[in-house]
Structure 1
Amino acid sequence: MIQNILKDKPTKIFVIFTAFFVANALIAECIGTKIFSLEKLFGMQPSDFSLFGEKHLSISLTCGVLLWPLEFIMTDIVNEYYGPKAVRRISYTAIALIAYAFLMFYLAMGVPPAAFWYGTGVQDGIPDMSKAFNGIFGQGMWIIFGSLTAFLVSQIVDVTVFHKIKKVTGEKKVWLRATGSTLVSQLVDSFIVLFIAFKIGKGWSWQLVFAICLVNYAYKATMAIILTPVIYFVEGRIEKYLGHETAAKMKQAAMGIESE
């Protein structure tokens, strides 16, 4: 029985997607402590603009946003073939493992460091390795809570919008349900994480929250549109691997339609 399960093609795909989904989310959370300039990345000078009365803004993003668009692409593909229950399952798994990872980070930060370790980074310009370690892994609790809450809520929104659009379009217009659901869920994600982490946690003004939210959302929305062809490519590979008949049955089952 176990061998049959391991050889089952839909099961193999789901396991691969789940593993990559969780790993991608955890990496995004870990590298999210670094803020980078999008303008400098493309060799341009940082812009200077105003939004909602907040002046001297530029396009500065966390490195985590480099990976988050992939999460929503995977969400839409899993939604297409396995349905909302599968999306919720991998989302809950990702959240549980991210929470576990951060618990381990905090435990590691509290372990007494070896005396010789403090200065092992001096040659690289790091005078205190213990402070550097704690600085990288010691994200504020509000940021962690905000990020996980935003992730969970946005995933639920993505699944809901995706299926509402699919009920109208059927199997046609993959781009509409994939991009449409992502555009809505990314807006929710951007606002919730900033509201919890910085409005509640840091006392930011509403103007600053909305300004930074709009900047972050503009990037995420642009990436959602740019990466739409990736969904078609991946679905094409899945169809080829599974066979058209199996893929069609999976899509029907995902929509709660019993195949004949």
Structure 2
Amino acid sequence: MIKNLLNDKPTKLFVIFTSFFVANALIAECIGGKLFSLEKLLGLPVHTFTLFGESGLSYTLTAGVLLWPLEFVMTDIVNEYFGPKAVHRISYVAIGLIAYAFIMFWVAMSVPADSWWRGSKAEAGVPDMQTAFASIFGQGMWIILGSLTAFLVSQIVDVTVFHRIKRRTGDKHVWLRATGSTIVSQLVDSFIVLYIAFKLGNNWSWQRVLAICMVNYSYKFVLAVGLTPLIYLLEHRVDRYLGHDTAKRMKAAAMGKEPLLETTLTND
């Protein structure tokens, strides 16, 4: 039984996609506490600007945005071959495991720290390792709630927009459904996380929420468009791996046009 499952190409593909999806989401959450300057990363001078009456803005972004665009690319690929139910399932798995991870982070922060360990990095400029550990892994509850809620809602939006576009275009215009769904869902994601984490959690003004939302979204928008060739590359590689007939049946089943026939098991 296990050998048959492991030799079934669609099954192996789904396991790989799910593993990457969950790992990518968890890593993005873990590194999200760091802020970086996009201008400095690109070797450009930092310029501040005003948006919605909020001054002093620049492209200072959370490190999590380095990975989240890949999450939406993966969503579109899973959506293309396995359908919305599969996207929902791996999204629920990701959210459950992220929540579990943060519970374990809290447990690890709460256990008594060894006195030698606390001062072991003092010469490297870290006088208290316990404080540093808690600062890295201890995100505020509003941020965690906002991030998980935004992730779930944006995934549902991405799936819905993707399939509405595909029903109109069929198998043509991959770029339109992939990029279009990502552009819409990332706007939703950017707004919800800021609204919950900082409007509700820290009483930010609406103008500040909207200004920072648009700064973050402009980065995500450009990246979503820029990653469009990656969608075509991944789809081409998946089609070759599955075989044309199997890929065609899976895409049809993902749209609910026909039941997915049992795939031929190989020993490749």
Query: What range describes the TM-score normalised by the shorter chain of this pair?
Result: over 0.9
Map of 2:23 onto structure 1: 23
Percent of residue pairs identical: 70
For 1:44-83, list aligned pairs within 5 A.
Answer: 44-83=44-83
Which residue is equivalent to 1:128? Answer: 128
Gaps of 5+ in 1: none
Shift of 1:123: 1.9
**Which AA in structure 1 matches 2:232?**
Y
Deviations 1:72-99 (A, max 9, x none): 0000000000000000000000000000
The runs of at least 4 aligned residues of structure 1 exceeding 6 Å deviation read none
Give the aligned partner of residue 40 of structure 2: 40
Specify every segment of 5 or more residues in structure 2 that has no aligned partner in the other structure, as ranges: 262-268
Report whether the alignment pairs 1:245 with 2:245: yes
CA positional deviation for 1:2: 2.2
Report the counterpart of residue 109 of structure 2 in structure 1: 109
Give the residue type in structure 1 aligned to 2:257: I
Partners of 2:47 and 2:24 lie apart in 1 by 30
What TM-score results when the alignment is normalised by the length of structure 2? 0.96
- Number of paired residues? 260
Offset of residue 236 of structure 1: 0.5
- Give the Cα–Cα distance (whole angstroms) in 1 for the partners of residues 161 and 123 of structure 2: 52
CA RMSD of superposed structures (Å): 0.8
Distance in 1, matches of 2:232 and 2:44, equals 32
Counterpart CA distance in 1 for 2:4 and 2:132 is 48
Report Cα offsets for 1:173-224 as digits up to 9, x if no partner. Answer: 0000000000000000000000000000011000000000000000001000
Match of 2:3 in 1: 3
Q: Which amino acid aligns with 2:19?
A: A
2:227 matched to which residue of 1?
Answer: 227
The equivalent residue for 1:203 is 203
Aligned mates of 1:114, 1:237 — CA distance in 2: 50
Distance of 2:2 and 2:191 partners within structure 1: 44
- Kindly provide the amino acid, as one letter, of the partner of residue 31 in structure 2: I
AA aligned opposite 2:42:
F
Secondary structure of 2:235's counterpart equals: helix
Residues 33-76 of structure 1, C-alpha deviation per residue, up to 9 Å, x if partnerless? 00001011112221110001011110110000000000000000
Amino acid at match of 1:247: A
Q: Which secondary structure state, in structure 1, belongs to the residue aligned with residue 36 of structure 2?
A: strand
**Superposition TM-score, scaled by structure 1 size:** 0.99
CA distance in 1, matches of 2:48, 2:182: 28
SS class of match (1:208): helix
Paired amino acid for 1:181? S
Q: In the TM superposition, what are the counterparts of 1:92-103 in structure 2 within 5 Å? A: 92-103=92-103
Q: Distance in 2 between matches of 1:135 and 1:85?
A: 37
Aligned to 1:137: 137
Residue 255 of structure 2: aligned partner: 255
> Given the alignment of the two structures, is residue 183 of structure 1 paired with residue 208 of structure 2, yes or no?
no
Asked if 1:90 is matched to 2:117, the reply is: no
